[in-house]
Every structure is written in C-alpha cells, then in structure tokens.
Amino acid sequence: MKYAFKVLLKDPVSAARLGKIYTPHGEVNTPVFMPVATQGSVKSLTPEMVRNMGAEMILVNTYHLYLRPGHSIINKFNGLHKFINWNAPILTDSGGFQIFSLSALRKITDDGVIFQSHIDGSRHYITPETAIEIQEALGSDIMMCLDECTPYPASFEEAEKSLELTVNWARRCKNIKKSNEQALFGIIQGGMYPELRRRAIEEICLNIGFDGYALGGLSVGEPKDIMMNTVKTAAPLLPEEKPRYVMGVGTPEDIVACVDYGIDMFDCVIPTRCARNGLLFTNHEKVVIKHARYKEDTSPPDETCDCYTCRNYSRAYLRHLFMAREILAMVLNTIHNVRHYMRLTEQIREAIKDGRYADFKKAFMERNINQGGYEN
C-alpha cells in the first residue's frame, strides 16, 4: 500500500477532523498520538506492549540511531521495522531538534550542520541530503525534512534567517528523495511571528509541496499562550488535504486544544518521561506516586482506565516499587501513561465522530483546570 491521507469527517463546530493515513505498514487513524521510541524502543516497554495499548504509529529518532548503532547496520536488517520488531507505521524525525539542543557542540552553515556526538565527542556533518539518505536507509513510513529549529526567544531577523535556511534545506530534501514508498513531510518554522509562519507555509506548502506538514519550533521554552496562538493562527493556513502535525507537543490539554484547531498528529516524551519520574495521568486527579498519601491506597491509579497496570495493581504497590527504585515501577507506570494517551485520542476520535467535540473539549478543560493540569 502506498502512502496516502484522507479526511473522513469534519467537526461541524470546530476545525477538528477525523482522518486516516495509509502507509506500506498499515493504516493510522487520526488524530493520533505517537509514543516516542528514541533509540528504537519506547523506554521500558516491548513493541508488543506498545501495540497492545492501541498505538498505531511510533516516532523514532534519526539523530540517535545515526550515531548508534548506525543506519548502515539497520539497513542490513531491511530497515527499522525488522530491526526493532515493529510491524506498523514509523515516523522518523530528521534529527534537527536534537542537533538544535546541542548548541555548544554544533555549528550551522548554509550547507548543513557540523556537530559533536554527545556520546564520544566525534565530529559529524549532516546535510539535508544526508538526513534523507539516513532516513531512507532506516526505511520509515514518514520522513521529516532537515530543518533549523528556531529558538525562543529569537528576534524577527534571527527567525527570518532561520526560516530561509529551513526552506532551502526543505527544497534540497525533496530533490534528493529517491524512495517512492516513503512519505516526506515539510516543517514550518518562523518562530513566534505570524508573518514568518505565513511566509513559511507559502514557501513550504505552495512553492515546494510535501506529503504532509509539521509545525516545528514549538514547546522550546515559550509561554503556553504564545505556543497555542501560533498553532491557532498557522493551522488553518495548512492544506486541508494533507496531514497536519505539531512536533513535540504535548500535555493532554495541549492535544485537546490543538485538535480543535485542526491538528492531526502529535508526539511527545511527556507520558513516558513522567512515568519514569512517578507522575501518573488520570481522569480525576494528578497522581505523584511517591507521595505518602498513597502508602496504603488500595485503589488503582485510575478506576476508569482499562490498562494492565490499573487492572492488576494498587497505588500502594506502585508507590512501594517507585520508592524501592524497582525497574518494574517504570514498566507499570509507563504502561499506564501510554495507555492513558491512547485512550485520550480514542475518546477524541469518538467525540468528533459523534459531532460533540466542542462539548468534549469544554468538559475536559474544566476537569483539568480543577485538578491543576499536568504541568510539572
């Protein structure tokens, strides 16, 4: 099956929509949240666990796999799907954000990026052409163009220069792409300046054209209201017939809000990272499992949750495991948080299907305001 995307249903009140992504490794229902498998694994979980929780697609990090074990090794296994035993769609990011985070170890030029490995200090040179070559060797279903992630804060001039570089790199990525089975998404930069975001959309979407589009350079330290306003103003300008992806976002509240603006795809390390740090997502309260109040609590993390952890274990046991630093604590907490995100997107899709997304969003936001949200 070749890559394709179809909008199935639009919400009558908001910009929320149901869609389906078709890939050589299966179909993905949107809106979708992709668990992050940085090194080719969702930390502490087997691929079978992740699949059984309802995940239809995962995100794998190009930068990390390029450094270790190397894309040439993965290519010998006919790509990531065989190498990591994941027989479902995979999206690979270009590594641009990871290189961005190595500000002290990298140098950006018009041609590409020179950087030092965070593992052993070795020097590497990545160009747009190299980024596509690596991702084609990885064999992902969706590849991302190499971009320069605009920092926050950035002046208009700095954001404009970054945007111009990203557009140039996007054109080179498309020109070098060889695989007909892998989709390629363009990334919209421009900082927090609406004018630059509009210019980026015109250049990336209209003048070049890709299989899908991502809003990048968000959740990089900017205030939440600025981030949301950027999504709100940029999303309606993206082509309706292509999937819309917000990279690295976010909390359950972020997802519910962005779906309302017409976003189809999400990824974030929040559910897995919070699980390892003992923060559990529930529909009723914020559970910081190390708190003494759970020492004798016989209830599951969330009585409304159908995950393996909630069906079998108490808060008291999870607290004991966490305080004892048992590996099982990370496993059980991650199972719950990933399933919570999968259930959230299932509920979102059901609400859109029934034409009641506005009511769903209102009730969800009111409930989360009352429990203080999940900012941690």
Q: Provide the annotated active-site residues.
A: 93, 267
What are the CB-based long-range contacts (under 8 Å, 24+) for 326-331? 327/44, 329/278, 330/43, 330/44, 330/275, 330/276, 331/44, 331/45
Q: Give the number of other Cβ atoms within 10 Å of residue 371's Cβ.
A: 12
Give the separation between CA 147 and CA 127, rounded to whole angstroms.
10
Cα angle 100, 220, 213; round to 5: 80
Query: By CB neighbour count within 10 A (0-12 exposed, 13-18 middle, 19+ buried), where does 366 fall?
Result: exposed
Q: Give the number of other Cβ atoms within 10 Å of residue 170's Cβ.
A: 28
- Residue 30's beta-bridge partner residues? 19
Record the tokens describing residue 307, joined without a space: 């995950």
Q: Do the Cβ atoms of 225 and 233 come closer than 8 Å?
A: no
Give the separation between CA 271 and CA 259, rounded to whole angstroms.
18
